[in-house]
Structure 1
Amino acid sequence: MEKEILLSAIEQKRTELLSIAFDNGLNSPLAIEYSQDLDRLLNLYEELHIQKHKKMQIK
């Protein structure tokens, strides 16, 4: 369940970033902020994926 929520948040943030970048430019402070938020979400997703694989290897 957590994975689906995180994937939804990633997609939402990506959509918002594209809209902001289109309206304000890719190098605007707001676009950079949204990009950093998206990076954090992607890093969380990657951490969950790595943890899942580690648990599977232990079994």
Structure 2
Amino acid sequence: MSKKELLERIEKKRAQLIDIVAENGLTSPQAIQFSQELDRLLNSYNSQYIKKCYTPQMS
């Protein structure tokens, strides 16, 4: 999946989540499911396209 496609999926899922929360509440099973799906998309984007700027130092 290209970066553009992934960003489009993230935006679509975010809009869906907003609608679900407005209809069913923040803690509804549907809202939790959509939130988890959005998290997976965001994690995928971060792992593929965001460079790690912070490296923790081992003591």
TM (norm. structure 1) is: 0.82
Runs of 4 or more consecutive aligned structure 1 residues displaced over 4 Å after TM superposition: none
Once the two structures are superposed, what CA deviation does each residue of 1:24-57 show, in whole Å capped at 9, x if it has no partner? 000000000000000000000001114xx48xxx
State whether structure 2 residue 18 is matched by structure 1 residue 18. yes
Question: Secondary structure of 1:38's partner?
Answer: helix
Q: Which residue of the partner structure matches residue 9 of structure 1?
A: 9
> In percent, how many aligned pairs have the same letter?
54
Please tell me the residue identity of whatever aligns with 2:37. Answer: D
Distance between the aligned counterparts of 1:39 and 1:26, measured in 2?
15
Q: Does 1:30 align with 2:30?
A: yes
* Residue aligned with 1:27, SS: coil
Q: Please, what TM-score do these two structures have when normalized by structure 2?
A: 0.82
Q: Which amino acid aligns with 2:14?
A: R
**Long gaps (5+) in structure 2:** 53-59
- Equivalenced residue count is 52
Residue in structure 2 matched with residue 57 of structure 1 by the alignment: none
Matched letter for residue 10 of structure 1:
I
